């Protein structure tokens, strides 16, 4: 960052280019290693290590279950990226293209990520995996053909971590959903990799139960550990401290001329009210507020500025409900005091 006086001496075009760079920086923002992220990354790392040399057959996996906007997808993608970066540091030779017999080019792919679309079929899942792996499928290939090819390629490219995101899109109360779930289990059984699943309200879905029969646990529940992913709390001093530390970490990444360190930390309670403790809502609010501070030339994030920034419908409705409740409570107290 130049000094503010240097910034003001820039030409209009130079200032516009510089502000575009700042907007891009704020758009990316930083990903904060919260206590929950550190804990779940630790557990996933331990599970991957435990499965590394396990005998053939299904490996124990992990299921991350929680409400929307708590950062499940970001968390697993960050773990996947760090896992591959660690492998690139320790085994750079694996990432060099090498030819096997028959002229087959092996592209080492230790991590595979798949987001399940709504109404997916077993063949859809196999095709999505094939697309991720860069496979060329023969026209008219059947589900069995594609799946077998995918399994062979997963073995060839050394895949050791498979992330299946948005599992809640599987309707396991319907026959089609159960068929897809069985297909996922089949692939997990045949792949020497640790599977990590994420989704919303999975404990009550059919993922852990055979259909919807509560008395019969599925193979998924027998082979995978479920971990709840939650929003930030606000009831204890520890909760408030962790929230303030997260706000501080995000605030430290701002590139604004008039924003003083600690301004946002002082607004921690306001930020919690605006976002209902959701890390996704918090980053959305600060990301857009930072860009608003640049565009409006205010160069600082204040509560007045953030009041002009709208984020998700859920967050806005929740915040407005909170404001209305507080107004009613304050009005009732005022009337009681007057009487």
**Neighbour count for residue 20 (Cβ, 10 Å):** 11
Q: Is the pLDDT of residue 214 over 80?
A: no
| 208 pLDDT higher than 80 | no
216 pLDDT band, cuts 50/70/90, is very low
The number of beta carbons lying within 10 Å of the beta carbon of residue 60 is 14
- Residue 211's pLDDT is 46
Share of the chain above pLDDT 90, in %: 71
Share of the chain above pLDDT 70, in %: 90
What pLDDT score was predicted for residue 169?
Answer: 83
Domains of the chain listed by start with CATH number: 4-29+232-322 (no CATH), 35-228 (3.40.50.300)
Whether residue 257 contacts residue 7, with contact meaning beta carbons closer than 8 Å, is answered with: yes
Q: Averaged over 16-31, what is the pLDDT? A: 97
- Where do the H-state alpha helices sit in the chain? 4-8, 12-28, 35-51, 72-90, 122-132, 143-156, 175-190, 219-223, 237-251, 263-266, 268-275, 279-295, 303-306, 313-338
What pTM value is reported for the model? 0.87
Residue 327 has pLDDT above 90, yes or no: no
pLDDT band at 245 (very low <50, low <70, confident <90, very high): very high
The average pLDDT across 180-201 equals 89
Please state, in angstroms and rounded to a whole number, the distance separating the CA atoms of residues 183 and 180.
5
With a cut of 90, say whether residue 101 has pLDDT above it. Answer: no
Give the residue from 326, 227, 322, 327 showing the smallest Cα distance to 276: 322
Q: By the 8 A CB rule, do 160 and 110 touch? A: yes
What CA–CA distance (Å, rounded) separates 336 from 56? 72
Residue 308 has pLDDT above 50, yes or no: yes
- Ranking 38-52, 160-174, 186-200, 317-331 by mean pLDDT, the lowest is 160-174
Mean of the per-residue pLDDT values of the chain: 89
If one counts every other C-beta atom within 10 angstroms of the C-beta of residue 14, the result is 11
- How is residue 167 annotated by DSSP? G
pLDDT digits (tens, 9 = 90+) for 102-135: 666 778 999 999 998 888 888 999 999 999 999 9
Checking if the pLDDT of 314 tops 70, the result is yes
User: What average pLDDT does the segment 260-266 reach?
Assistant: 96
pLDDT score recorded for residue 83:
97
Mean pLDDT (whole number) for 301-319: 94
């Amino acid at each position: 960052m130049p000094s503010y006086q240097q910034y003001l001496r820039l030409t209009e075009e130079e200032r516009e280019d510089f502000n575009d760079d700042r907007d891009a920086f704020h758009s990316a923002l930083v990903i904060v290693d919260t206590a929950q992220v550190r804990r779940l990354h630790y557990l996933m790392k331990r599970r991957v290590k435990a499965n590394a040399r396990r005998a053939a057959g299904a490996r124990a996996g992990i299921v991350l279950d929680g409400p929307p906007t708590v950062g499940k997808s970001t968390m697993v993608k960050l773990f996947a990226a760090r896992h591959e970066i660690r492998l690139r540091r320790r085994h750079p030779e694996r990432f060099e293209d090498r030819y096997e017999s028959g002229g087959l080019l092996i592209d080492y792919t230790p991590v595979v990520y798949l987001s399940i679309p709504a109404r997916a079929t077993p063949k859809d899942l196999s095709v999505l995996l094939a697309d991720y792996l860069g496979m060329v499928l023969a026209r008219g290939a059947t589900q069995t053909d594609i799946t077998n090819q995918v399994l062979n390629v997963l073995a060839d490219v050394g895949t050791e971590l498979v992330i299946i995101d948005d599992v809640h899109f599987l309707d396991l109360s319907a026959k089609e959903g159960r068929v897809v779930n069985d297909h996922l289990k089949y692939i997990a059984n045949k792949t020497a990799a640790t599977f990590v699943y994420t989704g919303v309200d999975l404990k009550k879905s059919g993922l852990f139960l055979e259909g919807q029969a509560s008395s019969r646990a599925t193979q998924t529940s027998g082979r995978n550990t479920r971990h709840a992913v939650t929003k930030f709390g606000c009831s204890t001093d520890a909760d408030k401290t962790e929230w303030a530390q997260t706000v501080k970490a995000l605030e430290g990444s701002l590139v604004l001329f008039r924003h003083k360190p600690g301004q946002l930390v002082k607004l921690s309670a306001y930020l919690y009210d605006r976002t209902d403790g959701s890390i996704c809502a918090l980053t959305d609010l600060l990301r857009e507020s930072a860009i608003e501070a640049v565009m409006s030339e205010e160069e600082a994030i204040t509560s007045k500025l953030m009041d002009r920034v709208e984020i998700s419908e859920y967050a806005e409705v929740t915040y407005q409900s909170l404001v209305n409740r507080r107004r009613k409570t304050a009005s009732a107290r005022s009337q009681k005091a007057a009487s």
